[in-house]
C-alpha cells in the first residue's frame, strides 16, 4: 500500500463547476497537509496548507483534513480554465528534516 494515494485523473469539468480533489493516507503520524498546483512544464507551487485537522478557506479554494478517516480534500469553487493543472497533495511528519511525502497528482482540465 502506498503511503499517500491520489486518483491520477485526468478530470475534465466545465467552467464554473465545483471540483473535488482527494487523497488518502496510511500513516496516522502525518500532521501537516499541503496542496500544490503544478502547471505544465513548471515546478509545483504551494496552494493551501493545513496543520492537523479542520478546514481552511482561501478565496475559491477550501482544504479539508479528516484525520480520523486519513482523508484530505481540496475543493475549487467556480472553476476557471486557469485552474487547469496537476494538483499534488503532500504531507509531513513532525520533525524529520522537513521532508514531504507527495501523492501522484490529479490532472485537472477546466473547459470553456
Residues that bind other proteins (CB under 8 A): 4, 6, 8, 32, 34, 36, 41-46, 49, 51, 88, 92, 97-100, 102-105
Residue 21 CB, nearest approach to other proteins (Å)? 14
Q: Which is nearer to other proteins, 17 or 38 (CB)?
A: 38
Residue 15 CB, nearest approach to other proteins (Å)? 26
Residue 59: CA count within 13 A, CB half-sphere: 5
Residue 44 CB, nearest approach to other proteins (Å)? 5
DSSP assignment of 55-76, as one string? EEEETTEEEEEETTTTEEEEEE
Q: How far apart are the first and last CA of the chain?
A: 37
The residue length of the chain stands at 112
Q: Which is nearer to other proteins, 18 or 46 (CB)?
A: 46
Q: Which is nearer to other proteins, 16 or 96 (CB)?
A: 96
Q: And the C-alpha cell for 54?
A: 479542520
Amino acid at each position: 500500500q502506498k503511503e499517500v494515494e491520489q486518483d491520477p485523473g485526468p478530470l475534465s469539468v466545465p467552467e464554473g463547476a465545483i471540483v473535488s480533489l482527494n487523497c488518502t493516507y496510511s500513516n496516522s503520524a502525518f500532521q501537516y497537509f499541503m496542496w500544490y498546483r503544478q502547471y505544465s512544464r513548471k515546478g509545483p507551487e504551494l496552494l493551501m496548507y493545513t496543520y492537523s485537522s479542520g478546514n481552511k478557506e482561501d478565496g475559491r479554494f477550501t482544504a479539508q483534513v479528516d484525520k480520523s478517516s486519513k482523508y484530505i480534500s481540496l475543493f475549487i469553487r467556480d472553476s476557471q480554465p486557469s485552474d487547469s493543472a496537476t494538483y499534488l497533495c503532500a504531507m509531513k511528519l513532525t520533525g524529520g528534516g522537513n521532508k514531504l511525502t507527495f501523492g501522484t497528482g490529479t490532472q485537472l482540465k477546466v473547459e470553456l
